[in-house]
Amino acid sequence: MALVYVLDDDPLAARSAAILLGQESDLEVASFTRLGDLRAAAEIRAPDAVLVEVTLGDAGGIDMVEGMTRDDPDLVTIAVTSARDPDATAAALSRVGPLRHVHKPFEARELLPRLRAGLERRELARGLAAAEATLEQRDRALHASRAQVERTTARLEVTSSELATATERLVEAEQLAAVGRVLTGVAHEITSQLALVGYAEAIRTRVGFDPELMELCDVIVNAHKRLCAMVDQIRDFVAEPRRRGDSGELAREPADVMAVVDEALAILRYDRDVRARNLVKRYRARPLAALHREKFSQVVINLVSNAVLATRPGDAIEVELDVDPGTGELMLTVTDHGVGMSPAVLARLGQPFFTTRGDRGSGLGVGICMRIAEEHGGSLTYESREGSGTQARVRLPQLEGGRGASPEEAA
């Protein structure tokens, strides 16, 4: 039911309008003779339509209507003038138009069509506003759903990527396991045959009078050593780490790291290629660490041997032992100024069977050294630039009680 307010300072005119409109069953009508009373009623219950006498006593009716319309743009407003007042009628028509103006005394055939048309427009406007609000709400819900779909899709992509990575690693692990089983058999067979090559040492002691035979024996002996070293690498790669304690961890004991490094370098003293390089030792500290001496020596030998292969005779290879003041870790650094490595090669270091040495390398040494460093609770990292050399750095936790190296020890 629509609520209609009638405002006219003539009580008889206001009452006649209320009686006329009150005959309509879908209209609720209230009449007022003072503007203040209408405004008070509007604050309690806003009307759907307002009939206002244009020539109110101290306030312009049209100005009042326009003020109410600013608050409610869809409010139905009809200006009322006396048929005997042409000036007021002309002013009203010029401001509101003929569809929003009626004369009094009121006639139903003139007033009701205008009021009904206004109320229909108001109802349509309200329906349109409600539809727009519903569409806006649905649009927000759709936007939220789209965002949720995007988040779900992103999570699915991450999950799919993780699954693909896990599958790839599983396939790689299965392939490596198969390769490991084959290599175990190959290593066993090679070891059996290498025992025969060991007779070259005995032959060498009996042909000392013939330099040419001595040289050939040396070639065989050196080849025997290289093959034995390669078999050891294969075994280290495919077998579970040996010499472990009951806990499954690598069996280690406190050791003087500088002494272990010196022992490893002493073994390399007899290598012809190592002797052709300038091996520089810089011991700035003498840390203690829990080490598996043989395996740690293997790391030192491998790092220096790789530096030898990357340099030329006469080049310097620097072996430095120090302690990181920030982390307290000991640092063993082997630096060469040789050919260096490209970023692509550096990124693949440690991958099984990847080597830059062609037939001379197994592609297992770096990966084994990285594993040994990790088993000691540390890490092995590389920095390199093509043409500028390579720096390999082992970081391990040290035990309390280490000290700085003396000048004699560092020499």
Helix (H) or strand (E) holding 316: strand 316-323
Angle between helices 257-268 and 293-309 (to 10 degrees): 50
Average pLDDT for the chain:
81
Q: What is the pLDDT of residue 126?
A: 85
Check residues 205 and 184 and name the one with the higher pLDDT. 205
Name the pLDDT band for 108 (thresholds 50, 70, 90): confident
Q: Which CATH class is domain 253-410?
A: alpha beta
Alpha carbon 120 to its chain centroid, in Å, reads 57
SS3 358: helix
How far CA 294 is from CA of 224, 354, 369, 372, in Å, comes to 21, 24, 12, 11
pLDDT of residue 10: 87
Cβ-contact 128, 135 below 8 angstroms: no
329: which strand partners?
397
Region 2-106: CATH code:
3.40.50.2300
The mean pLDDT value for 283-301 works out to 91
CA angle (181, 183, 185) in 5-degree steps = 75
Question: Between residues 300 and 346, which one has the greater pLDDT?
Answer: 300
Cβ contact 332:287 at 8 Å: no
Confidence of residue 317 (pLDDT cuts 50, 70, 90): very high
Give yes or no for residue 245 having a pLDDT over 50.
Answer: no
Position 331 pLDDT exceeds 80: yes
Local structure of residue 244 (DSSP, 8 states) = B
| pLDDT at residue 319 in the model | 95
Cite the DSSP H helix spans in 198-292: 199-206, 211-238, 257-268, 272-275
Q: Is the pLDDT of residue 236 over 80?
A: no
Q: What is the pLDDT of residue 344?
A: 81
pTM: 0.46
Closest CA to 388 of 342, 346, 327, 332: 342
How far apart are alpha carbons 7 and 60 in whole angstroms? 12
Q: pLDDT digit string (tens) for 342-385?
A: 888 777 776 666 566 544 555 567 878 888 999 999 999 999 88
